Amino acid sequence: MSNSKRRRRQKHRRDQRASQAAAQAVRTAAANDARVKAVDPLTDISALRVSVEDVMAAGVRTEPMRWVIVRCAAMAERKVMVGLSEHRIMAYLPMHRFYRRIHGVRQTAARPLMVGYVFVGLAPHQSEYDLHQIDGVVGLLKADGLTAKINPWTIVQIAALEADGAFNHTGPRKPGYTKDQIVRIVSGWAVGHRAKVVEATDGGLRVRLEGIFAGSPVPIQDDQVEAVDIERAA
């Protein structure tokens, strides 16, 4: 093989490798750009009607820290929150707000969204040992024998949902349901099943469930159901 032909082949191979490297660089850049632009539904709170101040008002901050879940003694969540505050340890207790009737009188009430648990943010200078000094703390949530670490964005998302009223059922009541209306159970033991309204009162509903639960009418709260669009369901 002549030297000129050998040089031409070598130049062709170099050009080929350069072309392949350039194409790979373009693909890598496109993939990185797609990852940056991809919206993580857990971290994207732009659709909620809340601000950063709303989230921070719940006790959630943006400083780097390690979030864990503390297990509390029975009905000791608020006591644990007070103890954590006294020790200057960041904590977040999402609350579920609702109505309840006491002697026939409707009153507002609130209870922890996750009964028996409190989210705790440990700063770099704080340790799990500090948590065991808090009255009412039983232990920490474990996974495979190790303390479970919670993604900070999970805490932010929950706080944003709470600020947006997702756990508040004391706001304006939904339009009332009518007799023979078809509804879907959205919470409780029969969640996901359809039912027909037999009786609708201010205190709640009596519905007859369809499918395997079919039988006598059962009482249910109107915030445990949603109306079924018959045309769309059909």
Kindly report, residue by residue over 54-72, the tens digit of the pLDDT: 766 766 665 668 899 999 9
Q: Which pLDDT tens digit goes with each residue over 4-51? A: 777 777 777 776 776 666 666 656 655 655 554 454 444 455 556 666
| pLDDT (0 to 100) of residue 99 | 81
pLDDT in tens, 148-188: 888 888 888 888 888 888 888 776 555 578 888 998 888 77
The Cα-based distances of 70 to 81, 119, 123, 188 in angstroms read: 10, 6, 15, 26
Average pLDDT, the chain: 79
Q: What is the pTM of this model?
A: 0.53
**62-115 pLDDT, tens digit each:** 566 889 999 999 899 999 999 999 999 999 999 988 888 787 777 888 889 889
pLDDT for 37 equals 46
pLDDT of 229 > 50? The answer is: yes
Give residue 190's pLDDT: 78
